[in-house]
Structure formats: C-alpha cells, structure tokens
Chain A
C-alpha cells in the first residue's frame, strides 16, 4: 500500500494528507451514483412538476431511465459492501493485528480499538458542538478546534452509510417485486416505497444543500474544495477546519515553531 507523506509541499505551500487514492475513488463512485440516481429518480417522485418530464426524457425516458437507475443503484450497493470490507480489512490489519502482535487481544481491548476508530462518534464530538455554538453565538472568539474527523464529517459519512442500507434493499424489493411477494406480504412494498422515496429526498437535500455548502458554496471553498481530487488539504483550510489535528501534525513533523494561530484571518 502506498505511503502518503503527512505534509506535502507544492509551490512552497504546505498541504496536509487526508484521503488515500482508494478512498477518493470510492467517493467518486459514490457521488456519480448518487447524482445519477437523483436525476433518474426524482422526476418520478415529482412527476407533476414541469421540469420532470424533460429531465426524465433527457435521462432516457421511461424505457431507459429505470434501467440506468437500477444499474446505478446496484453499483452503489456494491460500493457499500466494498467499503464495509475495506474498513473491516483496515481495522483487522492495523488495530486487531497490533493487538495480536502485542499479545493483548481481549474482548475489552477489541471494543476499545473498535470505538477508537476515527469515524465513530464520541464525547469529544459533543464538546466540539458546544464549542461551535459558543463561537457561532458570539460567546467566544475562539473557533472550535476539530480533530481529523469532525462531527460534521461523521454526519456526512453516516448519512450514506445508513441511507444506502435503507434505500438499496427497498429499491431491490421494488425491482424484484414479483419474487419478493412470493415470500413476503405486499404491504411491505408500501413501506419500502415510502422508505425509498423519502429517505432519498432527505439524502439528496442533505447532500445538495448541507454537504455542498461545506465543500462548494462556503465563501472560502467556492467554487469547489479540491481535497476530494488531490487528497491533500491546504494549510489555511487545515487551520480553519481541523486545528487540533493541524497542531498535532505540525508537532509530529517537528514544526512546532511554525504553527500558526487560528481565527485571525
């Protein structure tokens, strides 16, 4: 596996490592599928709107678009399984493997390692949210000092990670409805129909407003943040968004004396 330097220099500027190539590729597959699914799904949900029919016809119309939708959905469900295998692999290789090497593998240690993974929400996230509201409501001038994965990013992560297992199987059941009803009662399809379309709306609104605000519309990001392509985040963005990780990395790289202050920009 490729080793990524923690800090990269380009044009005399520091860039901080965030996402490996495999992770960036997963993200590209994810957003390609989500956008495709939205374009071929929402015209059906909002069939009585004036934009629905032209958009749907552009996406292939009623004979083609449903197959594009099913294809993209299948790839997305495949990505879900790939990603689950991916983090399980990393978890066992790095964390469980280390426990085995050090002969410290107990049930307690196993769960301790599990819950210390970057993506798992923890008490610090609660403190970060409080710190953020204190800052946003002018109780202090000190912005929240987030670590490597902040609560917003955890939210971004778990939105699709809980959304896909809800949307995907529901979509599959609606796709294989005949076979489904040989085993299950048909009213489950009514439930899946609501799950599929309403969870999809929540996901789409969240992604296209909140997530895209964070990475596209926000004044310092506009028109787009490049970390999803390069895997590296600029120093200014690091200071702004991940100050705790920034100081930690700078210290680890022996650059304590060059650490910049947060909040005065």
Chain B
C-alpha cells in the first residue's frame, strides 16, 4: 500500500548511480538543498493531522519527500497521504497495530507487516480480535497455496503469491476513491441506523463496511492485470507447465467488453471462483470442487449474474483457445487456416488483377502479337493520312 502507509517503491540503485554521475558532487548537494526546501516548504501548508494516530506518526510521515535508499539499493518512500488513508479500508487501525516492531520514536527501520496478525479491533459478530488469518487459510487450500496436500512445499516457492503480491501498489487501492464511486452511502438509510447506534462513528463505519462489499471492489480490467502479473510471464508459464491463459482470455468477447469499459462480462475471478466463495479460493481445474472442473463449468457459467438461461451445452465452450496449437485446439486451428487461406487466395488474386489493370493502362497499344502491332501502326498512319 505504498503511497498510503509508507511501503517501498522499488527503484533500481543503478538509476540513482547514474543520477550521481550525471549531476556530479556539487549538483548533488544542490539537489539535496532543493529537496530540503521543498520538505520544509510543504510543512507550511500541510493540513493539520487527525487520524487514529495516537502516536502522531503522521507528524513526520506527512512529508512527501520522506524517503531513503535502503541497504539493498531500493528507493523507499515513506510518505503517507492521509486523505487517501482515511478513505481506505484500514482507516480505523492504528499504525502500531500492524507495525508492531516499532518501540521508540524516532524508530529503527520497520520490518515487513504480517497481514495475519490479530489487530486491536474487535470483530463485532464474534467479539474476537480481528485478523486476516481466515484469508490465509483459504489461500493455503487453493491452487495458489505454497504447500501440496501432504504439507510438503511445492516447487518454485517464490512464485506463489503472498497477500501483497495481489494487494500491492499500484494495484492495491482504496477503491471507492479511485473509482469515483462511493460505497453508496444513503444519508437517509444511515439515519435509521443512527437512531439507535449513536456512539461514535460505528453506524457509519459499519454501513460503509457492508455496502462497499455489495459491489465489486476492483474493476475487472484491474483484476486481469493482477492475474497477468504472474500468468503472463513466459518463464513463469514454463516453470509451472501453464498455457498463456491471459493471451487467450484477451481474445474473448469477455475481455474485449471489459477493455472498452464494461463491467458486465466475466473477468478471471468470475469463472475461477465457485459462485459466492472468497476470491482467494481459486482451485485447479482438476479438483472436483473447482468452478472450472468439467462437471461444474455449466453451473459456473449459469451463475445468477451471467448466462443463467444457458443449457448444459455451454460447458463445452472453450474460453482459453490457442489458435496456434494444433494438438489442443484442432478445430479452431484448421478453421483459422481455412479462412486465412481463403482470404489469401481471394485477395492476392484480385490484387494481381488490379495491379495488371493499372499496368496495362501505361502501354494501351503494345502487344506481343506482331500482327496486332503492325495493324496498329497502319491504323495510326491511316488516321494521320485522313487528317
């Protein structure tokens, strides 16, 4: 959540080096001076801070230039845009609930946050402390879990996603803010809650919590990009024996409509998650409980928001078609060859005819037949004589 709470923005150290080389020693100090002035300057017009920030972390982290190059050469930005943070899902969480290794201020470099830690919020339905642990459990069981059924680590551990592989800047965003869609707060509806729930902001937060989950929290285009981050990488596909499912998906009407701004056609998670289940529960198509298991496909397509009138036949529709793969998609391969061939024959034939027609106009009276040439010469002299 980079810009929000000061995560890392990775930049290659070499780029920093090249800045040094370009600028030279003196200019480097000049640059630092400019930075310092801009930091000090921004202090003057930064709005007063008011978050759930009892230790006033934003006192320092509100400055846009707050950054450094870490030991491994990455450029790290620690700036927190408080406006964005207060619209995000973690607005009621204290900084130290997640950044637990901070003991004194100013603090030492903080460790990476553990998303499954219990935080200090109490989950109202069960009166237990809140944690993202259930998500981790679902993820572990899914095809994206890093252990197989016997609990043994799978090959290529580093390829398996953690929370932040998907929920990371620039992909992790407090959605309603960027979408320009708020979670549908109806003041009138909220008024009914507030009649009884008068304490603090409980009613408003709870209302937001529920209504923001009534809609897709990310645009479909963004979801495709999240999955594509790994699944579009040829080396990744090769390591795991996967097809280029992103490319084949992008050939479908589903994607094309999404590409042009529709939110009514299916993205990756619409088909790869059993309807009504958590998006973290993607399973392999070989698993009998998977949404894409052969016997379940028709039901997946028929889910209430999509092809609810479809018959069983829809199960044999192939979404991920590789038109260049003779073995996997022979019908599509040969049909494409047929139409391409037909097109080539028709168009090349007419291109040749048109080209020859234009060429013929250049020398209208030339002919390989010597008799015709002689006839033409004669007719020319006759016309001349006639004049």
CB neighbours of B259 from chain A (8 A): 47, 53
- Give the residue name and chain of the A residue nearest to B349 (CB): A210
The verdict on A62 contacting B260 (CB below 8 Å), with A138-B368, A194-B332 known, is yes
- Give the residue name and chain of the A residue nearest to B340 (CB): A198
The verdict on A209 contacting B347 (CB below 8 Å), with A138-B367, A202-B342 known, is yes
Pick the interface stretch among B12-20, B210-218, B235-243, B309-317.
B309-317
How many residues of A sit at the interface, in one of the four size bands? 35 or more
The verdict on A190 contacting B313 (CB below 8 Å), with A138-B366, A141-B367, A219-B361 known, is no
Pick the interface stretch among B28-36, B145-153, B271-279, B351-359.
B351-359
User: Is A181 a contact partner of B372 (Cβ separation < 8 A)?
Assistant: no
The CA of A131 and the CA of B375, in the complex, are separated in Å by 19
How many residues of B sit at the interface, in one of the four size bands? 35 or more
Q: Is B262 interfacial (CB 8 A cutoff)?
A: yes
Q: Is A139 interfacial (CB 8 A cutoff)?
A: yes
Q: Is A199 interfacial (CB 8 A cutoff)?
A: yes
The CA of A137 and the CA of B323, in the complex, are separated in Å by 40
Q: Is A195 interfacial (CB 8 A cutoff)?
A: yes
User: Is B260 a contact partner of A141 (Cβ separation < 8 A)?
Assistant: no
The CA of A139 and the CA of B359, in the complex, are separated in Å by 14
CB distance from A58 to the nearest CB of B (A): 12
The verdict on A44 contacting B317 (CB below 8 Å), with A138-B368, A206-B347 known, is no
CB distance from A198 to the nearest CB of B (A): 4
The verdict on A186 contacting B331 (CB below 8 Å), with A177-B310, A198-B340, A210-B354 known, is no
CB neighbours of B357 from chain A (8 A): 136, 218
User: Is A187 a contact partner of B317 (Cβ separation < 8 A)?
Assistant: yes
The CA of A198 and the CA of B333, in the complex, are separated in Å by 13
Q: What total of A-B pairs shows CB separation below 8 Å?
A: 130
Q: Is B48 interfacial (CB 8 A cutoff)?
A: no
Do most interface residues of chain B lie in helix, strand or loop, or is the interface mixed? helix
Q: Is B363 interfacial (CB 8 A cutoff)?
A: yes
- Give the residue name and chain of the B residue nearest to A202 (CB): B343
CB neighbours of B250 from chain A (8 A): 47-48
Do most interface residues of chain A lie in helix, strand or loop, or is the interface mixed? helix
- Give the residue name and chain of the B residue nearest to A133 (CB): B356
User: Is B367 a contact partner of A140 (Cβ separation < 8 A)?
Assistant: yes
The CA of A186 and the CA of B301, in the complex, are separated in Å by 11
CB distance from B375 to the nearest CB of A (A): 9
- Give the residue name and chain of the A residue nearest to B367 (CB): A141
9 A-B residue pairs with Cβ-Cβ distance under 8 Å, sorted by A, are A47-B260, A138-B368, A140-B367, A178-B307, A178-B309, A183-B311, A187-B317, A190-B318, A195-B335
- List B residues at the A interface (Cβ < 8 Å): 250, 253, 255-257, 259-262, 307-318, 321, 331-332, 335-336, 339-340, 342-343, 346-347, 350-351, 353-354, 356-357, 359-361, 363-369, 372, 376
